[in-house]
Amino acid sequence: MLVGLVYLYIKGGSFQLADLYAMPLTAKEQTWLFFAFLIAFAVKIPMFPVHTWLPDAHVEAPTAGSGILAAIALKIGGYGLLRFSLPIVPDAGHEWAMFVIVLSLIAVEYVGLVALVQDDMKKLIAYSSVSHMGFVTLGIFIAFSLVRDYGNLDGARLGLQGAMVQMISHGFISGAMFTCVGVLYDRMHTRMIKDYGGVINTMPWFGAFFILFGMANSGLPGTSGFVGEFMVILASFQQHPLIAFFAATTLVIGAAYTLWLVKRVILGDVANAHVAELKDVSLREALVLGGFAACVLALGVYPKPLTDLMEPSIAQLAMQLANSKL
């Protein structure tokens, strides 16, 4: 990314974004710059196949670190694509859009299946994050195809809007789920799924929060997890039904690993003496989880204020995609 920015400064003499957006670039220059930015932002998002650092980082991080990393820091990658890659190198973005879409679908499918076999709660949620962030890159790059190949400006706006809603929703849901793991870890000092079972019997309020966030992670309608993913699937379906089909299977895979996690940790009989001694959430924990729950439900039930706020920026971005620099 630094090499790309230095090149742009040498060529245009400015770091002002408006100047970079207007700077004429050849097809070859755009391709090199596109991959310079993509490599940087793909690691940050993270995209398949440069995603493997994230589960290890989450396992080593404290609860607050995991929350900040999942809920805020990963979104810098999506922001970078929207702010730099798309407007500065629109022609290269269009040329390589299908390549990024394929990587996004692999993230949605394969990494979701990897999450299914995890025995550490934090690793499972971390792989889940990679899978859900695949929708962000899918929504961003499906917009190129819609606006350039089919002249479908409304579809492109829908895809971009879905990607942005998904980033915000994922921040709420992943932050909430890592906080839930932190609540359990504070009490039992283990993240292993096999050490739990029947937690709802001793922590009913915590169990209710965990199940709500699990439903949101599965994409249940009425929660924020549904809105962004549905918008991206809807945008894809307008011209690429097959892409929409593969993207939609994440609702099945996501339900599989999330509900299985809920079943093994929260539901059933009390598994052991340690679980039997657990105390329900404190007022501080309830306030934090309640705040997450309110955001997840508010965005899931009535996302219009957020989408209206984003609409002018999205419309401008879609027009930038439509304009060629060649």
Predicted local distance difference test score (pLDDT) of residue 302: 93
- Say which residue the tokens 């993509």 belong to: 38
Mean pLDDT, the chain, integer? 88
Query: CA–CA separation, 98 vs 178, rounded Å?
Result: 33
Model confidence pLDDT, tens digit, residues 201-232: 888 999 999 999 999 998 889 999 899 889 99
Model confidence pLDDT, tens digit, residues 80-89: 888 888 888 8
Predicted local distance difference test score (pLDDT) of residue 3: 92
Contact (Cβ atoms closer than 8 angstroms) between residue 267 and residue 177: no
Nearest residue to 163 via CA among 190, 176, 144: 144
Which residues have C-beta within 8 Å of that of residue 308, sequence separation ≥ 6? none
Average of pLDDT values for 90-97? 87
Q: Enumerate the domain spans of the chain.
A: 2-322
Model confidence pLDDT, tens digit, residues 173-205: 999 999 999 998 888 888 888 888 888 888 899
Nearest residue to 69 via CA among 54, 80, 47, 51: 54
Max Cα-Cα span within the chain: 69
Nearest residue to 111 via CA among 135, 92, 128, 94: 128
What DSSP assignment string belongs to 186-211?
A: HHHS--BGGG---HHHH-HHHHHHHH
Contact (Cβ atoms closer than 8 angstroms) between residue 34 and residue 85: yes
Model confidence pLDDT, tens digit, residues 279-293: 888 899 999 999 999
Which residues have C-beta within 8 Å of that of residue 6, sequence separation ≥ 6? none
Q: Which parts of the chain fold into alpha helices (H)?
A: 2-12, 17-22, 27-44, 53-60, 63-68, 75-80, 86-88, 90-95, 97-106, 112-116, 121-144, 153-188, 199-202, 204-217, 224-237, 241-248, 250-265, 273-276, 283-301, 304-322
Contact (Cβ atoms closer than 8 angstroms) between residue 61 and residue 160: no
Total-model pTM? 0.89
Model confidence pLDDT, tens digit, residues 111-151: 888 888 888 888 898 888 888 888 889 998 888 888 887 87
Share of the chain above pLDDT 90, in %: 25
CA distances from residue 45 to 3, 17, 38, 296, 308 in whole angstroms, order as listed:
20, 22, 10, 21, 25
Predicted local distance difference test score (pLDDT) of residue 247: 87
Buried/exposed 261-284: b ≥16 CB within 10 Å, e otherwise: bbebbbeeebbeeebeebeebeee
Query: CA–CA separation, 242 vs 224, rounded Å?
Result: 24
- Say which residue the tokens 């996501």 belong to: 254
Structure confidence at residue 309 as a pLDDT band (50, 70, 90): very high
Contact (Cβ atoms closer than 8 angstroms) between residue 191 and residue 75: no
Q: Give burial (CB, 10 Å; 0-12/13-18/19+) of 1.
A: middle
Per-residue pLDDT for 233 more than 80?
yes
Predicted local distance difference test score (pLDDT) of residue 176: 92
Q: Give burial (CB, 10 Å; 0-12/13-18/19+) of 99.
A: exposed
Residue type at position 273:
A
The residue count for the chain: 326
Average of pLDDT values for 49-55? 86
